Structure 1
């Protein structure tokens, strides 16, 4: 087991990758759009046009955040928050889906959230603050000795294929990187964060759920949360989207690769074959450790990796049904 500075990795083990396919018997229920009448959308319209991707003010050169380029995107619709536990539970109840973490029997939990009964759990070499916890899953994020997952929280311990299957069932998909950044900017243009350019700090400005204090031992939780926050917490950006910075890493549709033909870029892409791209950072990010809660920041991980700070958000190519109403459970605007 290894990982980047941001997330632990199962390492792309061949046995784990082979387990990514949905179990026989429920494939018909997970076909594209099968849950469109069951999943309760809570989304907003994102206007298309010229979108910015990357930055000319890079902070982590090794991630090739620069240069900033322009791309055209079409109109799309994006969930206001990351997929919640309640939304994912509806998917599981409708299809019988079993996540990869459940099939493999374990997932990664941050050390300060590990129940006392698991105090001797195996750590990750080089990332000792992560622990392998048997039985940690989307509905028991700390393992069987921890509390059940709360409905309003982002669903975590989600592998890339789990996220893709939910999105297809819901009639949507995972976003492309340019779509994710376009949505995160909220109409503000070339900004560092969804709210603008002001940096969060450890004193009096906490607009998102990240780490405050001395990582990895002391989390002051000045933003109100020691772990994940509800999917609709903190002020939304200009498009009405919550937690595009911090809270949980979000899987995207794309492989992790850098936009560079340099020798270093080619080496990174060769070493990253098979990895998928994640955006947004998490509640464990801090400027001194993992300054990846900026819009242009990015990381990659093997698609079989699951952890307590990794989830996803769904986008849609089609508008919701005409005249949606909150009574029907659809809140798209």
Structure 2
């Protein structure tokens, strides 16, 4: 884990989408956050230790995007072990675990003696202790000297050809290197669950009815997002319901401490 000394920073962005506004002052206490998203191998240890059944396993299916039909589907048998379904490839051990709901992520975190990060902690870490003013956790560009800085969607359409960044789907955690403060995959690869209920920032024009069953996700993923490159920024935010499991959504843990 990487340690961050608590402090006050300006959260959000006036250049981003409406749900990122207004920029407002937030104070966080000192905390630790996982260097990488939780991997398939790490999640397997949790399952073996506890016998835990994920929401996808209990429901019998999970969300996978069909590139042939160009639509999301609930695929029977899609789980953290086989994120595309039983006929698809097995999830590689060193890739971030996917097809885990907020409930699953919270259960893992508790088993590990940790918790899910707050949305403010996640952004504070992405900004390297609130000091980084760049667009993304690694800088201001997705491509530097012809090299992708993260596992992201190339293009603006679901039909666009993928693989220019080296991967069509998930990538090994840490493949693209570390931020200045030692974190990896803080943009792209998989969305990260956060602890918070998804709410509007105070004082802005954006409104949403808070729902305890809808939580924040951060960081974007390898898959197409309607917000394009905005979804990988340090301030971008989205949400999903706590029982939802998708092939492009994972998590990392945090822990309080000086």
Provide TM-score, normalisation by structure 2.
0.92
CA distance in 2 between counterparts of 1:295 and 1:232 reads: 17
Task: Give the structure 2 partner of residue 96 of structure 1.
Answer: 51
Mark the runs of 5 or more structure 2 residues left unpaired by the alignment: none
Give the stretch that moved more between structures: 203-212 or 303-312: 203-212
Give the match for residue 299 of structure 1: 238
For 2:201, the equivalent position in structure 1 comes to 259
Corresponding position of 1:309: 248
Which of 135-144 and 183-192 deviates more? 183-192
- Aligned counterparts, 1:141-152, within 5 A: 141-152=83-94
Per-residue CA shift, 1:140-179, capped at 9, x if unaligned?
A: 1111111211110100011111000100110110011110
Which residue does the alignment assign to 1:237?
179
Counterpart in the other structure of 2:140:
197
C-alpha deviation, 1:315, in angstroms? 0.7
Q: Given the alignment, which residue of 184, 201, 207 partners 2:126? A: 184
Change (3 A) 1:191 1:254: same
Q: Deviation of residue 110 (structure 1)? A: 2.1
Residue 279 of structure 1 pairs with residue 188 of structure 2: no
Measured in 1, the distance between the counterparts of 2:193 and 2:247 equals: 13
| C-alpha distance in 2 between matches for 1:135 and 1:231 | 25
Post-superposition Cα deviations, 1:7-53, rounded to whole Å, max 9, x if no partner, equal: xxxxxxxxxxxxxxxxxxxxxxxxxxxxxxxxxxxx12122222331
Please state whether the residue corresponding to 1:93 is helix, strand or coil. Answer: helix
Is 2:34 aligned against 1:76?
no
How many Å apart are 1:57 and its aligned residue?
1.9
Matched, 1:44 2:2: yes
Name the CA distance, whole Å, in 1 between partners of 2:133 and 2:156.
30
The CA RMSD over aligned residues, in Å, is 2.2
> Which residue of structure 2 lines up, in the alignment, with residue 269 of structure 1?
209
Among 107, 112, 117, the alignment partner of 1:175 is 117
- Structure 2: distance between partners of 1:78 and 1:273: 23
Question: 1:269 aligns to what SS in structure 2?
Answer: coil
2:156–2:228 contact (8 Å) kept in structure 1: no
Change (3 A) 1:173 1:152: same
Aligned to 2:82: 140
Q: Is the 8 A contact 1:210 1:286 kept in 2?
A: no
**Partners in 1 of 2:202 and 2:6 — Cα distance?**
26
In the alignment, is the contact (CA less than 8 A) between 1:250 and 1:312 conserved in 2? yes
The alpha-carbon deviation at position 261 of structure 1 amounts to: 5.2
Q: Residue 228 of structure 1 corresponds to which residue in structure 2?
A: 170
The structural deviation recorded for 1:290 is 6.3
Q: Decide whether the 8 Å contact of 1:106 with 1:136 is kept in 2.
A: yes
Q: 1:210–1:258: structure 2 CA closer, same or farther, 3 Å change rule? A: same
Q: For 1:203 and 1:304, locate their aligned partners in 2 and report how far apart those are by CA, in whole Å.
A: 41
How many pairs does the alignment contain? 257
Partner of 1:322: none
Distance 1:255 1:314, change over 3 A: same
CA contact (8 A) 1:174 1:314 kept: yes
| TM-score with structure 1 setting the length | 0.72
Moved over 6 A (4+): none
